[in-house]
Amino acid sequence: MRRVIYILSLFVVSCEMPNGNNQSGDMSHWLDIGYNGGDSTNGNRTGITRDDSSEQETGISEAISIGDALKGTYSVIIRTENGGDVIGSGFLIAPDLLVTNFHVVEGFSFGFVRQNDKSPRYNIDEILKVDAVNDVAILRVKSIQDPFVLPLSSYMPKLGDRIYALGCPKGLEGTMSSGIISQFRERDGRGICRDAESAIYYQTDVQINHGSSGGPILNEKGYVIAIALGGFGDGLNFLVPARFIDVLNKGTF
C-alpha cells in the first residue's frame, strides 16, 4: 500500500512539507514520491558507461564541459494510465538507455523524450527496470540520433564539492544551475551519514524545481554523481546517489 498519494500534472508536482505527524522511515512524507519497494522489471544487465579510473587522484579521465553534457540530457514527457501528463528530466547512460526517477514514469502509458522544443521527439520504447525504493528507472529509447552518453563517476563526492544540475525545471528545457553537496543523509532524510558511500541521499543547495526530477547531477569534470530528486527549494534539496543506477543495473538491490 502506498504511503503517500501524490498528484502529478504537466509542469506541476505537489510536494508535502515535513511535519511532526508522519513517522514513516523514509522521505516519502517529505517529497512528491511514494516508495513501495518495487523490484526490477528486467533481469538483464544493461551497458553503462562508467569512468573506472580515480578521477581525483590520477587526473587521467577526460573532462566533459558542463555545457556539452546538455547534449545527453532530456525532458521526459509522460502520459499516465489515468490520462495525466507528467514532465521530468533524464539523461543517457548508454546510446539507447535513459535514466530518470521512478516517480516520473510511474503509471506510464506512453511518452517521449526530447532535448528542447526545437529538437526531435523520441518515443519511449519500454520501462526497462525500476527501483521504487530508491526512485530510479531505466528507460529504453532506441531511436535517439547522435546519442551523447554521460559517464557515471567512480569518485564519491565530499562535503562542499561543487556540483551542477541539468534538466527541465518548471518546463524550462536545457537549464543548468550549480551548488554544493551540503550533507549526506540517511533514509529518513534527517540522520547524517559519515560519507557519500553510506548515504541514501545527498543534500544540496543546488536548485531543484518541478520538472527537475530525474536530471543528472554532475561534478566539475562533467561526470554524473547523482540524480535530481526533489525538496523544498530555498537551498534544501535532495539527490539520489548515482551508485543506485549500478545497483539497479545489476539487479542486486
Q: How many CB atoms lie within 10 A of CB 134?
A: 23
Can you give the pLDDT at residue 17? 26
CA distance 169 to 247: 27
Out of 29, 61, 75, 103, the active site residue is 103
**Who contacts 153 (Cβ-Cβ below 8 Å, separation ≥6)?**
51, 55, 219, 221, 223, 224, 225, 242
- For 192-225, the pLDDT digits (tens) are 999 999 999 999 999 999 999 999 999 999 999 9
Stretches where the chain sits below pLDDT 70 are 1-61, 251-253
Identify the CATH assignment for 151-250 out of 2.40.10.10, 3.40.50.300, 2.60.120.10, 2.160.10.10. Answer: 2.40.10.10
Please identify which residue in the block is written with the cell numbers 577526460: 62
pLDDT at 247: 86
Q: How many CA atoms lie within 13 A of 90 on its CB side?
A: 35
Residues paired with residue 115 on neighbouring β-strands, in sequence order: none
SS3 (DSSP) at 180:
strand
Catalytic annotation, pick one of 26, 32, 96, 135 = 135
Q: pLDDT at position 190, please?
A: 84
Domain borders along the chain are 151-250
Q: How far is CA 86 from the centre of its chain?
A: 15
Question: What is the rounded end-to-end Cα distance, in angstroms, of the chain?
Answer: 20
Instruction: Return the pLDDT at 173.
Output: 96
Distance CA(106)–CA(62), nearest Å, equals 36
pLDDT score of 15: 31
Q: Is 9 a catalytic residue?
A: no
Separation of CA 61 from chain center: 23
Annotated active-site residue in 28, 75, 153, 213? 213
